Amino acid sequence: MNSQMEAEFMKTIGFIGLGIMGKPMAKNLLKGGYGLIVYDIVAAAVDEVCAAGAQRAGSIREVTGKTDTIITMLPNSPQVREVVLGPGGVLEHAAAGTIIVDMSSISPIVSKEIYAECAKMGVHLVDAPVSGGEPKAIDGTLAIMAGGEAEIFARVEPILLEMGSSAILVGGVGSGNVAKLANQVIVALNIAAVSEAMVLAQKSGVEPEKVFDAIKGGLAGSTVLNAKMPMILEGNFNPGFRVELHIKDLQNALDTAHEVGSPVPLTAEVMEILQGLRVAGEQKNDHSGIVRHYERLANTEVRRKK
């Protein structure tokens, strides 16, 4: 391989998983000047990213043959395990020295299991889940929390910063997903607290919008409050982040907490609220729909006064 071909090889990134998050993330890498070779089981998603300048791969094997850096953005632990470790997966075809950056939100326990198998083959793994939902995936301002070896993280950090406004190495492999679980616990509990408080205001005859304006600059103010309260006031539960995805993340949080012996009673309670929304057929709604649980309990709605 001559020096020009080698430079192009290193500048090309494999990207597997072009869903609601992966697709805009891949497009931002293209905008940042990286070449991409992409694979997904949904042909339309591949078509859209290829129209933006990516190369199409017909298989995971084809991705691994054209790059030494592969990003995966997949639904959950089983899919990541299958894509990396399964028959025809990345590890079956990757050369020693390949870097896999798993940006999926999965169990940190599974991240460590996959890392151990990769290490046997001389393949590196960084777990680098993200926070910010589809809007921040689109504008390239995701918060990225990573786990892995410092030297390997330093090599992929410029790539991550094409997709996010921050990329922080938290610790060893699995640490990124622990940070993501902590993020998701805090977000879920925050939305529940906002919902509970605003339903209380509504039932007390005080306009929730006025309460929002009064408290958002104080200690109760938060990014979650500012992002979700306007949606609640409009009754707009179109997803930025779906209820069903938050259920997945909190299940990983509960499983991890039980594994390490860290009780999470509030997380368990909010999980049951989310499960109730799923049973009510609202699993595709934004997680700000947690307020609907409280509204039904109190027989009221928190909405902007017309």
Task: Please report, for the domain that includes residue 245, its CATH number.
Answer: 1.10.1040.10
The residue from 172, 193, 221 where one domain ends is 172
Q: Which amino acid is at 48?
A: E
Q: Do 59 and 93 sit in the same domain of this protein?
A: yes
Q: Do 166 and 188 sit in the same domain of this protein?
A: no
Q: Do 201 and 98 sit in the same domain of this protein?
A: no
Domain-embedded: residue 305: no
Q: Do 23 and 122 sit in the same domain of this protein?
A: yes
Q: Do 94 and 11 sit in the same domain of this protein?
A: yes
The residue from 172, 191, 215 where one domain ends is 172
For residue 108, give the nearest of 186, 175, 185, 182 by alpha carbon. 175
Q: What is the pLDDT along the chain (306 residues), one digit of tens a residue?
A: 444 444 444 589 999 999 999 999 999 999 999 999 999 999 999 999 999 999 999 999 999 999 999 999 999 999 999 999 999 999 999 999 999 999 999 999 999 999 999 999 999 999 999 998 888 999 999 999 999 999 999 999 999 999 999 999 999 999 999 999 999 999 999 999 999 999 999 999 999 999 999 999 999 999 999 999 999 999 999 988 899 999 999 999 999 999 999 999 999 999 999 999 999 999 999 999 999 999 999 999 999 987
Catalytic residue among 23, 27, 180, 228: 180
Question: Both tokens of residue 184?
Answer: 């998701």
Q: Do 253 and 287 sit in the same domain of this protein?
A: yes
Domain-embedded: residue 303: no
Q: Where are the alpha helices (DSSP H) in 132-287?
A: 133-139, 150-160, 175-203, 208-215, 223-234, 243-260, 265-279
Q: Do 150 and 231 sit in the same domain of this protein?
A: no
Asked if residue 69 lies in contact with residue 80, where contact means CB atoms within 8 angstroms, the answer is no
Q: Do 48 and 163 sit in the same domain of this protein?
A: yes
Q: Do 206 and 291 sit in the same domain of this protein?
A: yes
For residue 80, give the nearest of 120, 118, 134 by alpha carbon. 118
| Number of domains the chain is built from | 2
Domain-embedded: residue 225: yes
Q: Do 22 and 140 sit in the same domain of this protein?
A: yes
Q: Do 293 and 146 sit in the same domain of this protein?
A: no
Cβ atoms within 10 Å, residue 166: 12
What pLDDT, on a 0 to 100 scale, did the predictor assign at position 11? 82
Q: Do 126 and 206 sit in the same domain of this protein?
A: no
CATH classification of the domain holding 137: 3.40.50.720
Domain-embedded: residue 304: no
The residue from 172, 204, 232 where one domain ends is 172
Domain-embedded: residue 306: no
DSSP letter string over 127-165? E--EESHHHHHHHT-EEEEEES-HHHHHHHHHHHTTTEE
Asked if residue 216 lies in contact with residue 225, where contact means CB atoms within 8 angstroms, the answer is yes
Q: pTM, whole model, 2 decimals?
A: 0.91
**Residue ranges making up the domain that contains 132:** 3-172
180 assigned to active site = yes
